[in-house]
Amino acid sequence: MAEIFRHNSIAAKRRADYLGQRGAVIWFTGLSGSGKSTIAYCTEKLLLEDKIFTMVLDGDNLRFGLNADLGFADTDRNENIRRISHVAALFAQNGGLVIVSAISPFAVDRKTAEHISFTAGVPFVEIFVDAPLEECIKRDTKGLYKKALSGEISHFTGISSPYEAPEAPAMTLHTVDSTAEDSAQKVYDYVKMLAELEEMTKAAAGLAVAAGKTIMDIYNGDFAVEYKDDTSPLTAADLAANTVICDFLKERYGQYAILSEESKDDAKRRANPGCFIVDPLDGTKEFVKRNGEFTVNIAFAYHGKSVMGVVYAPVLDKLYYAADGLGAFCQSGNAHEYFSEKNRIHVTDKRSNLTVMASRSHAGAEHNALLEKNKAKIGETISIGSSLKGCLIAEGKADVYYRTGLTCEWDTAAMQCVAEQAGGVFMQGDGTPMRYNREHVLNEKGFFILNSIDNKFE
């Protein structure tokens, strides 16, 4: 059998520069009659009017040609989504904005679609078009639900075949109380945010380095240590870095909210779809100990998902950064050579003899018991402070980190994006997705970071 090779003469970044746009896959999932196709075509119209090359891949249309040989049994549904996913990723990889409208009822198939896009290096945005079954039945102009309920159609999603709603989609559109035009506008806004994400990441990276210089000026001198109500330390470096970061973000990106550890929280932030999440000095205990294991963390969450993350370690002069669909990178802080392939990082593929990260200042009995229970999987354990733990996993220098104690949104948002865009897994301690810009900022369930879900500890 002849060998098969991938061919692509023009790099994705250069192609995006030529076209003036980046490709992405916008994946609409929901019951038949929920409004997916209507919203998809409304969104396409908005984007085309803005001169953004866009196409809709509608599940029904594809069954007339590409998928005409497939039925509706589970195995055929799996293959249907696999084919659509590859077509969408190919178009997106070549600069197209692809809107997929497909019921895609099974979570595992949507995860496959996401992985295919990730491998192709394009953003994947899962959008749940949410309408109750009763409402979809009312809208049934084709009479499909009536036939399914009478037994004339088998394997019909929502009636004789299950629909698995997304646990943490990038966006949920409630079509009972919103028009198709309003929903399309929200999707359009998401696409426009993705378009500015690369420049936003570069700006945040430069900002983190600038804040790091401010921190180092204090670190290299004498400083006093105060203590907050929760007994955590506070220094002039925390406050000075916070001023540098928040002043810039307010001036440059004033349309978005800010949640920072060292600023008074404003509940109005939750009404904003976009929120910067900032820890101006993550690892203040390590700063006070002068061991160099502290970082500047800047993340951006959109509809609760961390889509941009920057982590800078001033003493090490190491800059980690990532953006949804662009990947994760590590370089010297002052290199200014952003998104270069030579700086791309990725998690390891190890499944045994794992390198486990441990917190320098926050390990406890529950954490130690978990490591003891899984010691057969562990090769070595490394202790280090701040968000560097997640970044080392992203960089392939470690494989697993479990945190059983309390943290806050600003502790995890930036390194989550870095770890995920490097191919890693980042979940709450109970295995559910971690979301941001919440009412309560505590991460109460703990979390874990893995190079692969196969290495989840029991």
What digits encode the pLDDT tens for the residues 49-86?
999 999 999 999 999 999 999 998 899 999 999 999 99
First to last CA, the chain: 42
- 345 belongs to a structural domain: no
**Whole-number Å distance between alpha carbons of 307 and 256:** 14
- 135 located within any domain: yes
Question: What was the pLDDT predicted at 7?
Answer: 64
Residue of 101, 104, 117, 183 with catalytic role: 104
Domain membership flag for residue 169: yes
* Per-chain mean pLDDT for the chain: 93
Please report the pLDDT score of residue 236 as a whole number: 94
- Asked if the structure places residue 205 within a domain, the reply is yes
Give mean pLDDT, residues 108-119: 95
Q: Are residues 372 and 442 in the same domain?
A: yes
52 and 163 together in one domain = yes
Residue 266 has pLDDT above 60, yes or no: yes
Q: Residue 448 pLDDT > 60, yes or no? A: yes
- pLDDT above 90 covers a percentage of the chain that reads 84
**Do residues 28 and 166 both lie within one domain?**
yes
CA 138, CA 143: separation in Å to the nearest integer? 10
Q: What dihedral do alpha carbons 416, 417, 418, 423 form, nearest 10°?
A: 90
Looking at 178, 208, 225, which one is the last position of a domain? 178
Q: What is the pLDDT of residues 384-409, one digit of tens each?
A: 988 999 999 999 999 999 999 899 99
User: What Å distances lie between residue 355 and 229, 349, 380, 395, 449, CA to CA?
Assistant: 35, 12, 5, 12, 12
Residues 329, 407: one domain?
no
User: Residue 298's domain is classified under what CATH number?
Assistant: 3.30.540.10
Collect all residues with Cβ–Cβ distance below 8 Å to 435 and sequence separation of at least 6.
Answer: 168, 301, 304, 305
Residue 365 and residue 227 in one domain: no
pLDDT tens for residues 155-203? 899 999 999 999 999 999 999 999 999 999 999 999 999 999 999 999 9
* 117 touches 100 (CB < 8 A): no
Measure the CA–CA gap between 101 and 67, rounded to whole angstroms.
Answer: 14
Residues 6+ apart with CB under 8 A from 356: 371, 378, 380, 381, 382, 398, 399, 400, 401, 402
The yes-or-no verdict on residue 103 having pLDDT over 90 is: yes
On whether both 325 and 441 belong to a single domain, the answer is no
Residue 75: the pLDDT is: 93
Whole domain around residue 100: which residue ranges?
Answer: 12-178
Mean local confidence (pLDDT), 245-251: 98
Number of H helices, E strands in the chain: 13, 20
Structural domain includes residue 2: no
Same domain for 165 and 264, yes or no, is: no
Is the per-residue pLDDT at 1 higher than 60?
Answer: no
Does residue 3 belong to any structural domain of this protein?
Answer: no
Q: Does residue 52 sit in the same domain as residue 116?
A: yes
- State the CATH number of the domain containing residue 42: 3.40.50.300
Residue 428 belongs to domain with CATH number: 3.40.190.80
Q: Are residues 289 and 367 in the same domain?
A: no
**Token pair listed for 229:** 């109500």
Give the residue from 145, 178, 211 where a domain finishes.
Answer: 178
Q: What is the pLDDT of residues 204-216, one digit of tens each?
A: 999 999 999 999 9
Matching residue, tokens 């380095």:
209
User: Does 20 share its domain with 149?
Assistant: yes
Q: Is 394 helix (H, G, I), strand (E, B) or coil?
A: helix
Q: Which of 340, 373, 408 lies at the terminal end of a domain, its last residue?
A: 340
User: Count of domains in the chain?
Assistant: 3
What's the pTM? 0.91
Pull the structure tokens for residue 421: 């865009």
9 pLDDT tier (thresholds 50, 70, 90) = low
Catalytic residue flag (residue 34)? no
Tell me, what's the pLDDT at 18? Answer: 73
Q: Examine residue 90 and state whether it is found in any structural domain, yes or no.
A: yes
Sign of CA dihedral 262, 413, 186, 255: positive
In a shared domain, residues 222 and 318: yes
Query: Does 243 share its domain with 374?
Result: no
Flag whether 43 is in a domain.
yes
- Of 300, 312, 242, 232, nearest to 272 by C-alpha is 300
79-105 mean pLDDT: 96
